[in-house]
Copies of this chain bind each other. A is one copy, B any other.
Amino acid sequence: MEKRLFNFSAGPAVLPVPVLERLRDEMLCLPGCGASILEISHRSKQFIEIQETAKQRLIRLLKIPDSHAVVFVQGGARLQFSMVAMNLLRGRSQPAQYVVTGTWGKYAVGEAKKEGPLEVIYDGASHNYSKLPQWSELKVYPGASYVHLTSNETIQGIQFQSDLHSACPVVSDCSSDFMYRPLDISKYGLVYACAQKNAGPAGVTVLIVRRDLLDRSSDNMPGYLNYRNHVNEDSMWNTPPTFAIYTLGLVAEWLENTIGGLDAMHALNQKKAAIVYSALDRHPNMYSGHAAKEDRSLMNATFRLPSEDLESAFLSEAKKRGLDSLKGHRSVGGIRASIYNAMPMEGVESLAKLMDDFASQKG
């Protein structure tokens, strides 16, 4: 078989090998089913159990309290940018407050302002989204409909490392760092995350929503967009993306049983990020990080080299060594190393070695 590369893609992204092996082994016949996971009814006993198991794993991993419901939907974070505001803001006079720390936060504002009154209480545009505000800087109004954050800005590579506490509901787009560390879910009104960066394949989005907020959703809105429908029908308001949910459940199983939970995952992520950022800091003449040091993302390390020619040479050398998808987002250029949960330690060690070698040779 062809050799697997170390895949630094920002999403869809690397998955744990044991998960892929299991999907492979079961592709023609899910044990006890006589059919593939792709072929069984979402109403079958087997799939209902698969979905419930995935949900219960998330509840255990994130210690999700009964006050919050967990559902799986389609459409990605982009659809959530609209759904959040359609469910939690539409028809209300108190504005939603948005903290814009990068590209995804800006997109979230673009959709939400179509739905109701909105106030941007922080925007990092002046420093090109290279640092984050302190929680204490944010003028969060306790009566706001909600305050919206992007926990990790994938393109810029900056990440909040703690939870905001606020009297109004905190809504967090955790798409690119879902389950990278434990979260205090009790502090959130809504956490949403498309799976394809840190938690599974493209095609499923996880919502963790405080149940009392469901009262805000109007029956007049499009049925699929109404959070209450998905919660009331336990993610079966319509056919869920069965395979994506199954895979997400296997990733959660790997987090629980192989990694040992989110504290262990967090420690590993800190260790992996430290290896990459140490290499970066060892060669200040060759690599300049985009993010302020204190706000560096544990998921996406973004940096530039002195010239685009050197960046191309770096990417070529990476490819020779089996390190793939290190090119920065087309909107910002440079290099981006996405080192999500499933990126093995060997991958970041190979990257650090490349960074050292390249700096020695070309510096």
Contacts and interface: CB of A to CB of B under 8 A. Distances in A.
Is the contact region of chain A dominated by helix, strand, or loop, or is it mixed? loop
A223 B78 contact: yes
A120 interface: no
Contacts of A203: 74, 203-204, 241-244
B27 A239 contact: no
Interface string A31-45: 111111011111110
Given A223-B110, A224-B78, A12 B34 contact: no
A11 interface: yes
Contacts of A76: 74, 224, 238-239
Contact of A38 (B31, B201, B222, B240): B201
Contacts of A25: 24
Interface string A3-19: 11101011111110100
24 contacts: A1-B29, A5-B33, A7-B34, A7-B39, A7-B40, A9-B39, A11-B41, A12-B38, A12-B42, A15-B36, A15-B38, A17-B28, A35-B324, A74-B74, A74-B76, A74-B241, A111-B222, A115-B222, A196-B242, A201-B242, A201-B243, A203-B204, A203-B241, A203-B243
Interface of A: 1-5, 7, 9-15, 17, 20-21, 23-25, 27-29, 31-36, 38-44, 74-79, 81-83, 86, 110-111, 114-115, 194, 196, 201-204, 220-225, 237-244, 247, 322, 324-325, 330
